[in-house]
Amino acid sequence: MERTLWPFLLAFGLAVFSFSPSASSQSAVNGQLAFQAMTFEDCIQYAMQNNPNLQQVKLDEVAGEYQVKEVRASGLPQASLSGRYTDNFALPTQLLPGEIIGQPGTTVPVQFGVRHGLYAGLEVNQLLFSKSYFTGLKAAEAARGLYQANTLMAKENLVYNIAQLYLQLQITDKQKEILNANLGRVVQLIGITEAQLQEGLIKKVDVDQLRVNRTNLETEIQSLDINYGQQLSLLKYYMGMPMDTPMQIVGLEEAELEYPLSQGLNLQYNTTLRQLQKQEELTGLELQSVKDGYFPVLSAFASYNWQGQSDKLFSKENKMNTFGSGMWGLSLSIPVFDGFQKKFKAQQIEVSQRQLALQSRQVANQTQMEFHNATEQLRQSRSLISQQEKNMQLAEELYSITKLSYQEGVAPLTELLNAETSLKEAQTQYLTATLQQKLAELGHLKTSGELARLIEAGSK
């Protein structure tokens, strides 16, 4: 796939925060990166080459090409050679009337034939006219379009799943960063309160509460590490990468401009509808093929046969007697009556056509509903993230003021702990809202057909 799709996905806003990972060099060794620090584009490119499901769908496309060639080849001359050797070790005997040798009233046993026989033949057939042949050729080419639609759908789902996981991995990493920052503040407070405890300024329960908070934060960080590992394993699965391969993802810089999402629904690029349309085309050709069975089939044929006979093989005394025969002609097959088999088969296909039409209608309605829901979800998520961002800023200000008040001895430790908890919750809510917004943008991109359009454009 060309690289024209990836700048879009980067600008689309899959990156939510600005990370500062160490720069990494990448080199290809036997199709794999020597150092598995992979960008989003690297993950997509790797998956396009190694995802087993996508490779299987692509092989269907290759098989479709061979199918077209197979159908086309059936219209070319068909030639076959045949050969046979017979050893008549017991020649057939026939009783003949003795009159033929001057012995009337008697019968004479006579053996017919020779012991050894060699036979060889060449037969050539050429189809001259068959409507079913041309319809079958069209059907094979239409099947090629169905395989291409299947490949596009597989690519669309693959990009969508990898984009989701790549985004979730970055959110998880950012959550861990926030928790580590909170843990650092709690550890710092523990040091301060332990000194205050020794001076008798606070109670031991205050220090114990901070220690409990520290343990809780460490547990949350460990849980995030587990979630991160599971998400990374799932990403490897979609990419077709061995699970024991060391891998890291490179964070994306926050996009300055988001990709302008499609304002309308483009059913033309809906991959499910494309599949159904191709299936409708195929059933239409299948129906035409059945109707073509009422037309005659005209073929030309030619054959030449050679035979040799002798009582002994490879004998100078008994030379091989050879004979040749040949013919050519035309063969016409005209269907007359098949017990209404074609009629009933055509009716079955017509039922399938109506079913496919209803499925297409249902998919179109469902897609319109999903696009409406995705648009509404995107609108709400953008409004929510704006509120959560303000709420997080307010929590940060509140924590700074409370911390200063605590250090000055004005506010109790409980207020500082409450402010710290509120800040962590506000940061978590902001991350959750950010994730929901980006997932909503990704869902809107897929539902509108824009993702499939971009993938198709990037494949050309």
Closest CA to 231 of 218, 249, 216, 210: 249
The one-letter amino acid code at 443 reads: G
| CATH architecture of the domain with range 5-51+130-295+336-459 | Up-down Bundle (1.20)
Pairing of strands 248-249, 116-129: unpaired
Q: Over pLDDT 90: what percentage of the chain?
A: 51
pLDDT in tens, 245-259: 898 888 755 443 355
Query: Distance between CA atoms of 305 and 324, rounded to whole angstroms?
Result: 6
Instruction: Provide mean pLDDT across the span 404-409.
Output: 81
Rounded CA gap, 225 and 177, in Å?
11
Local confidence band at 199 (pLDDT 50, 70, 90 cut-offs): confident
Digit-coded pLDDT (tens) for 46-99: 999 999 999 999 999 999 999 999 999 999 999 999 999 998 888 888 888 888
What pLDDT was estimated at residue 5? Answer: 52
Give the Å distances, CA to CA, from 372 to 358, 392, 406, 444, 446. Answer: 21, 30, 50, 9, 13
Helix (H, G, I), strand (E, B) or coil at 248: strand
Q: Please, what is the end-to-end C-alpha distance for the chain in angstroms?
A: 8
Instruction: Quote the pTM value.
Output: 0.79
Of the chain, the percentage scoring pLDDT greater than 70 comes to: 89
Q: What is the largest CA-CA distance in the chain?
A: 151
- pLDDT for position 23: 35
CA distance 370 to 357: 20
> Would you give the distance in Å from CA 197 to the centre of its chain?
63
Can you tell me whether residue 22 is helix, strand or coil? Answer: coil
pLDDT above 50: residue 455: yes
* Residues shown for the chain: 460
> Distance between CA 315 and CA 20 in Å, rounded?
94
How confident is the model at residue 435, as a pLDDT? 86
Q: What would the mean pLDDT of 212-230 be, rounded to a whole number?
A: 93
Residue 25 pLDDT: 36
Domain definitions of the chain by residue range: 5-51+130-295+336-459
pLDDT of res. 310:
85
What pLDDT is stored for residue 6 in this prediction? 46
Cα torsion 147, 152, 157, 162 to 10°: value is 130
**pLDDT on residue 249:** 86
Token pair for 223: 């849980």
Give, as one character, the DSSP assignment of residue 329.
E
| Mean pLDDT of the region 284-304 | 94
User: In which element (H, E) is residue 110 found?
Assistant: strand 107-111
Distance, in Å, from the CA atom of 306 to the CA atom of 283, rounded to the nearest integer, reads 47
pLDDT band of residue 26 (cuts 50, 70, 90) is very low
Which amino acid, residue 430? Y
Task: Please name every residue paired with 123 in a beta bridge, in sequence order, or none if there are none.
Answer: 80, 303
Q: What is the pLDDT of residues 114-132, one digit of tens each?
A: 888 999 999 999 999 999 9
